[in-house]
Every structure is written in structure tokens, then in C-alpha cells.
A and B are shown apart, each in its own frame.
Chain A
Amino acid sequence: MLQRAKIVFRFELICLALLVGLVPAAFGQSPNTFYEIETKYIFGFTEGSGIGLEGEKEISPDSVTSIGKRTGSYVTGQTKLKYEFTPNQFMQFELGPIVSWHHIRNVTDLDDVNRFSFGGGFVEFRYLLLDRPTSPVAVTIAIEPEWRRTDETSGQHVQNFGLETRINADLEIVPKRLFIGFNLLYEPETTRDAAGAWTNEATVGGSAALSYRIFPSVVVGAEVWYLRHYETIGLSQFTGDAVYVGPNIYVQLNNKMFVTAAWNTQISGREAGEPGKFDLTDFSRQRIKLKFAFEF
């Protein structure tokens, strides 16, 4: 019997294939001139500095799927059903529920789970600190309080509170064509397990991304992420790190719709005190991001 997690994952693969197929269509319908473009979603997992347009609203399913541990079968993911709005020319808000799914079988240190559930909710506040042309580099700070009732990694029922904090920066190397993006990430979390015990953890890291606009409606790029995981909020007990690399694509379908996808694979990493090439306890071997957005 097909598990729902597998169905969701296969649906994402189909969407990715459709996305690749949409590139020629997007090229065919777009004007031949390269106009200004929003940079927020053109770098894959790395986020650009864009905060949208004053008065603009957007809804989007934004999915991240994690695949692969050292043993067994591991496919998990979460979809943020986002509502974004920009109340003025300085800030943006996002909020919505989180849907999560877990297909875990025969993975060391994790119980088998096959579950599709309401995972929690989030609110994100983005504030533009620096913008072009005042500065060549545009910088936004993003703060995202999150609540989860399902553990992201194990799929077990918990009460988890996190505060994902990011600095999103980008730079136009060639105006309207070639962009570089940078992210800094600090995400402290506190979790109460089923027994009532609280534990803390934190993820810290950074990324660099390069994206090129091959057609007016299509941007392709690649990114690299370095992430470190700690068992304390104060970053004192290191448990492992990972380096991800991978490509991404952004397609503007029409003036109110776009889709973006990214794939990252762990190419290097280590677990504290463990042999092996990767950190597959704190991080997955691969991750896929897929987002469809409708502006209104």
C-alpha cells in the first residue's frame, strides 16, 4: 500500500518535472526586455532581501522535503500554507499553518512513523534594513516564531517552540540579470517531549547563492549552505555540521503567479564523536524545496 508520505513526495517530483516543462512556456509569453525583479525567491533555500510591494498579498504552499538518513527509509516534510502581506514599504508579514508528513522505517534511533498531520503554525516578520540604490547590497532581517506539535525530524508528538532568525542579503552583479544572495541563520528551539521534559537546541549557519536570469521569466542558480547544530541555545554543545549544495530554478508563470524549486544534497559533514562522512543525525542527506505562489 502506498503511504501518504510517499504520495506527497511523488507529487513533488511530478511538480518538479512540470516546472521544467513550464520553462519554454514562460519564455514564450514573456516580453523580451529584462525589467526589475523581486529577489526574495530566486535563490532556492537562500532567501533574497525582497519584502514585496506595499498592498500586495500572496498565498502559497511552501514545501520542504527531507530525504535520507544513515540507515532505513526516511522521507519527511513540511508544507507551510503561507499568507504573505506587505503593509508598507519597509516590512512584510507571513503567517499560516504547517502541515507535516513523515515516512520513517528502520532508521537507527528513530521509531517507525507513517503519518500525515497538522504540524503547527508560524508567523514571520521581515524588515528591510538596507535597500538599493542607497546601498549596493540590500539587507533584510527576518524573524520567525514557530510552534510545532510534531517533531520535524522524528515525527513524534511534542511541543516545540523555535525562533528562526535570518539576515537575507543580495547584490546585483549585472543589473537585472546576475545576482548573489547571502543568508545568515540562527534558530534556537526549545522542546517539551511526551514525558514533559524540556530540551534545547540551536542551528546556526550561512549560505551563498548565485542566480542568473536566463530569460525574463526564468532564473536559474546554485547555492551552498553550511549548517551547525548544537544541543544548547548558547551554541556550547556542538553535535554536528553539514555542507549542502544544489541547484534552483524560479519561473514567473504570469504577472501574478510564480513557482520556485531547489534541491540540496549534503556533500560533507560530521557528527561529534562519530566516524563517517556526513551528519545524518541532525540533518538529512537531501532536501527539496517547492513553492507555488499566487499574488493578489
Chain B
Amino acid sequence: MSTSLRTILKVAALTAALCCFQALAALAQEPVTIQISVQNHQFHSREIRGPANVPIILRIKNEDNAAMEFESVSLRVEKIVAAKSEGIVRLRALAPGRYEFFDDFHQETRGILVIQ
């Protein structure tokens, strides 16, 4: 194996290890739990609030007779929640701001998580 190839592999492995360590450290903080429910393809509260810089657990209760897919581009999550059941989504610690979320199976079903 050439010296150049060994250097290439070492740089790739070191960078990957550093990034994995940082991601695991961010997920290790104590989370806050927030409840969301959906009925008749509407979120009960269109706007929910949460604390900044703390990991959040979203408990999503689907009260409809059809499955939903909780999804958010800015939160970077998606989760299918079966009919009449509950799904859990773990969010990283978020910066203050407004984060849209929606049901990917019913795109008109939308809400906003406001982080303060």
C-alpha cells in the first residue's frame, strides 16, 4: 500500500471518529419531554413551545384511524406513527427559532415548534 493511500485512509478515519464523538456527546444531555397529539388530521396545538439548548423528546399521539408520518426538514426527523398509537422522536438541543413540522401523509397537517 502506498504512503499516499495510507495518509488518505488515516485522515478519513480520524475525521469520522471526531465527528461521531461530538454527535454522541450532544445526545447525552438530559432531555425535556413535550406532548403533541393529532386528531382529524390536525395538530391539537398548531404552535408548541420548548426550551433552547436542551434535548427534547416529542411524544406524538396519533388519535386518528390512519397512520401519520411526523416529519420536519429543520428538525431533521421523520417518524411513522401508526393509527391510535404514540410515537417518540428525540430531538437534539436546538437553538432559539421556529421549526416547522408536518404529517407527510397529509401535507396540510402542519405545526410549528417555537424554541425560546
Residues in chain A near residue B11, CB distance under 8 A? 143, 163
Residues in chain B near residue A133, CB distance under 8 A? 95-97
A132 close to B74 (CB less than 8 A): yes
Q: Which of A154-203 contact B (CB under 8 A)?
A: 161-163, 188, 190, 192, 198, 200
**Cβ-neighbour of A86 out of B2, B76, B91, B97 (below 8 A):** B76
Question: Does B73 make an interface contact (CB < 8 A)?
Answer: yes
- Contacts A89-B91, A90-B19, A90-B92; is A161 near B76 (CB within 8 Å)? no
Give the size category of A's interface with B.
20 to 34
Q: Which of B1-32 contact A (CB under 8 A)?
A: 2, 4-5, 7-9, 11-12, 15-16, 19-20, 22-23, 26-27
Q: Which residue of A lies closest to B9 (CB)?
A: A145
**Cβ-neighbour of B76 out of A35, A51, A188, A233 (below 8 A):** A51
CB-CB contacts of B76-116 with A at 8 A, as 1s and 0s? 11110000000000011001110010101001101000000
Q: How far is the CB of B92 from chain A (nearest CB, A)?
A: 5
Q: How many residues of B contact A (CB 8 A)?
A: 36
Question: Does A109 make an interface contact (CB < 8 A)?
Answer: no
A161 close to B5 (CB less than 8 A): yes
Q: Which residue of B lies closest to A128 (CB)?
A: B76
Residues in chain B near residue A190, CB distance under 8 A? 2, 4-5, 8
B107 close to A188 (CB less than 8 A): no
Q: How far is the CB of A157 from chain B (nearest CB, A)?
A: 18
Q: How far is the CB of B52 from chain A (nearest CB, A)?
A: 10
Q: Which residue of B lies closest to A200 (CB)?
A: B4
Question: Does A294 make an interface contact (CB < 8 A)?
Answer: no
- Contacts A88-B23, A133-B96, A161-B5; is A141 near B15 (CB within 8 Å)? yes
Residues in chain B near residue A86, CB distance under 8 A? 76
Q: How far is the CB of B115 from chain A (nearest CB, A)?
A: 9
A89 close to B76 (CB less than 8 A): yes
Q: Which of B23-72 contact A (CB under 8 A)?
A: 23, 26-27, 71-72
CB-CB contacts of A102-144 with B at 8 A, as 1s and 0s? 0000000000000000000000010100001110000001010
Q: How far is the CB of B113 from chain A (nearest CB, A)?
A: 12
Residues in chain A near residue B75, CB distance under 8 A? 89
Q: Which residue of A lies closest to B105 (CB)?
A: A255
A55 close to B26 (CB less than 8 A): no
Q: How far is the CA of A147 from the CA of B96 in the complex (A)?
A: 42
B100 close to A125 (CB less than 8 A): no
A89 close to B77 (CB less than 8 A): yes
18 contacts between A and B (CB under 8 A): A31-B108, A35-B100, A53-B72, A54-B78, A55-B77, A55-B78, A89-B76, A89-B92, A91-B20, A91-B23, A125-B15, A141-B15, A143-B11, A190-B2, A190-B5, A192-B2, A198-B2, A255-B107
Residues of A within 8 A of B (CB): 31, 35-38, 51-56, 86, 88-91, 125, 127, 132-134, 141, 143, 145, 161-163, 188, 190, 192, 198, 200, 233, 255
Residues of B within 8 A of A (CB): 2, 4-5, 7-9, 11-12, 15-16, 19-20, 22-23, 26-27, 71-79, 91-92, 95-97, 100, 102, 104, 107-108, 110
For the complex of A and B, the 4 pairs showing the least CB-CB separation, nearest first, are A133-B97, A36-B73, A127-B19, A90-B23
